[in-house]
Structure 1
Amino acid sequence: MKLNLRSIDLNLLPVFAAIMEAGQLSRAADQLGMSQPAISAALQRLRHTLDDELFVRTRQGMEPTPRARELHLLLAPQLASLGDVLDPGNRFDPTSSQRHFRLLSADYFEMVMLPPLLQRIRHRAPNVVLEIAPAGDNMAEMLHKAHADLAVDAFVQEDSRLHREVLVEENLVVVARRGHPLFKGRCSKSRFLEAEHVVLPDRNRRLPLDQILNAPGWQRRTGARVTQFASMLAVSARSDMIATVPERLARHYAEALQLQVLPFPVSIPPVPIYMLWAEAQERDPAHRWLRQQLTDSMAPEPAP
């Protein structure tokens, strides 16, 4: 039997979208300016109307059911468009918003991009909260299922439902401790291959560096495998191991860690760093604002 739309309270749909995006009833209540009991009551009415649990309470928050995820993918862009049509003057106001955004990335983002982004946002949106979670091979699903708002990564997700934009292009450099016996201001191929390397885990995708290192005669000696760029820098600073890292990261921390920043032994293409988001977020005013803040925070400063 077809559902009678007149039997549905359309005021429940923004509540549903807020719970999906916030992941917790308390955050959804704050976002909508409602009390938590009112949010809980609205959710109960929606569960009864749609004959689905919609959300299951877990330690991490409200986990959406498959039906809820399907509904959100269909409803989110429609709700954003409807809001624009019915109330063009009611746009996202960063000065008063308490929006909670969740971003997926490696610690490269936290070490290089997050500080200028937060500095920019704090001047414009003092109550907006950013949460950073690790990026992984399930990144696309996390975005589709509204478990995250945005991802920043060097690995392109080949998914037609994802939007993507290049934020920056990173050159790769070699870092070694100052006073390293093999490196004094330059890095030759022979010295590069002679030294031990601290590396990241293989994520089953290929960057330009991987293509070079898989070529004949480029087998490097792996001395340690770590999970974060921060660990690569720390190990390089306190041992004779070297690391190949993004140049912005190396320049930011070279002085504090007493590291040499050396050009890679051969010419290597820069690595694009992408911003990725789901189709359901494309037209959301708050989401568009966040993407613009991230883009602007990474723009080069004008010359004096």
Structure 2
Amino acid sequence: MNDLHNAELDLNLLPVFDALIRVGNVSRAADQLAMSQSAVSHALKRLRLFFDDPLFMKTGSGMQPTPRALELRGPVLSVMGTVRTELLVREGFNAATAKRGFSLLLTDMGELIFLPRLIARLRQTAPHCTVRTLQVAMRHVQAVLESGEGDLALGSLHAVPKGLFQQQLFTRSFVTIVNRRNRWIGDTLSRDQFFAMEHIVVSLSGKLEDAYDAIVDELDGPRRIYLTTPHFLTVPMIIEENPELIATVPRELATKFAGYKSIRMVPTPMPVPPFAIRQHWHPRFHHDAANMWLRQQVKGTFDTFPE
């Protein structure tokens, strides 16, 4: 890179590159940076001119980085991480005036059960901030948190990637949901009935060993698994149309599903240990003021979450 290019590099452009490489969208990058879309577009134009490369190309799935942008990703994220954690940490985070978006990695169950309560708190404490949820395959969780595209991962993660910080929020129990039209099942479900019937399990990875209720198979032997799905919210509709199927799900979710006229919940016929719900974050943002504040809000919200 020649001296002219060095003289023309404006370090104020680095936060724009950082935001674009993380979120892949001009409008969301503008929200995170509290800038207008036109200002972000202008900054991108200057970055393209400086590096003599398009950097980001529009596709049907958002703006995808070019090979040159991928080369720059590591150094820029490293610089921005140092700025956030070493230089800006003392500035703190003023929630009352801050304008930024927070991104949470959640399942559809988390969106249904936990997100409304958290949003209610955030709307009071940070009225100018916004929230975005992401559903990410387990193998990508660490990379998404490391890049800053996601701030926190909330839930009961199986095989949590090494190196992530985590904090337990609360524990929850399992119950089994069945179709009311299934006359074979009374007010309780016997162990023999449980293992004779076919089950629906939820696994984000699609692997049975990663299923949310995999502990059942570990304790009492394998069930007859008919359907594996990454979506909790489709389970009651499937059971509604297929009365011979059952599923074991977290109690809060079963309570919601019982709103379907055809769905009811029964105790799981063997003792199943409760599972822990935790928040996870990457060490890069352990001392980031905004991330620290967000973690405090999440913890405060669920410290009083009813059993």
Cα distance between partner residues in 2 of 1:108 and 1:30 = 26
> CA 1:34 to 1:142, structure 2 compared with 1: closer, same or farther past 3 Å?
closer
Assess if the C-alpha contact under 8 Å between 2:14 and 2:76 holds in 1. no
Aligned to 2:223: 220
* Counterpart pick for 1:290 among 289, 294, 299: 294
Which residue number in structure 1 is paired with residue 143 of structure 2?
141
Match of 1:36 in 2: 37
1:152 partner SS: strand
Q: Which residue of 2 aligns with 1:63?
A: 64
Question: In the TM superposition, what whole-angstrom CA distance separates every residue of 1:84-122 from its partner, at most 9, and x where no partner exists?
Answer: 35xx3xx43333333222322221111111111112222
Whether the 8 Å CA contact 2:81–2:285 is kept in 1: the answer is: yes
Question: In structure 1, what is the Cα distance between the partners aligned to 2:34 and 2:77?
Answer: 24
Q: What RMSD, in angstroms, separates the aligned Cα atoms of the two structures? A: 3.3
Contact 1:69–1:145 at 8 Å: present in 2 too?
Answer: no
Q: Which residue of 1 aligns with 2:169?
A: 167
Report whether the alignment pairs 1:275 with 2:279.
Answer: yes
Pairing 1:169-248 to 2, within 5 Å after superposition: 169-178=171-180, 180-201=182-203, 202-203=206-207, 205-206=209-210, 209-213=213-217, 218-238=221-241, 239-248=243-252
Bigger mean CA offset, 165-174 vs 108-117: 165-174
Q: Secondary structure at the match of 1:229?
A: coil
| Separation of aligned partners in 1, 2:305 and 2:143 | 35
Q: Give the C-alpha shift of residue 134 in structure 1.
A: 1.9
For 2:174 and 2:31, locate their aligned partners in 1 and report how far apart those are by CA, in whole Å.
43
Please give the residue correspondences for 1:35-184 in structure 2 after superposition, counting only pairs within 5 Å. Answer: 35-47=36-48, 49=50, 54-64=55-65, 65-80=69-84, 81-85=86-90, 88=91, 91-137=92-138, 138-178=140-180, 180-184=182-186
Q: Deviations over 1:114-136 (max 9, x none)?
A: 11111222222233222222231
Equivalents in 1 of 2:168, 2:275: separation in Å? 10
What secondary structure sits across from 2:291 in the alignment? helix
Offset, 1:18:
3.5
Unaligned runs of 5+ in 2: none
Report the TM-score when normalising by structure 2.
0.80
- Closer, same or farther: CA 98–171 of 1 in aligned 2, 3 Å: same
**Which runs of 5 or more structure 1 residues have no equivalent in the other structure?**
none
Cα deviation for residue 228 of structure 1 reads 1.5
Instruction: Give the structure 2 partner of residue 17 of structure 1.
Output: 18
Give the TM-score, by structure 1 length. Answer: 0.80
Indicate the SS of the match to 1:298: helix
Q: For 1:178 and 1:212, locate their aligned partners in 2 and report how far apart those are by CA, in whole Å.
A: 23
Gap change, CA 1:262 and 1:121, over 3 Å in 2: same
- How far apart are the structure 2 equivalents of 1:93 and 1:20? 25
Q: Is the 8 A contact 2:201 2:212 kept in 1?
A: no
Q: How many angstroms does 1:207 deviate by?
A: 6.1
Distance 1:211 1:156 in 2: 11
Counterpart residue identity of residue 287, structure 1 = N
Distance 1:31 1:145, change over 3 A: closer
**Following the alignment from structure 2 to structure 1, what is the Cα–Cα distance between the partners of residues 35 and 305?**
41
AA partner of residue 241 (structure 1):
L
Percent of aligned positions that are identical: 31
Matched residue pairs, number? Answer: 298
**Aligned-partner SS, 1:181:** coil
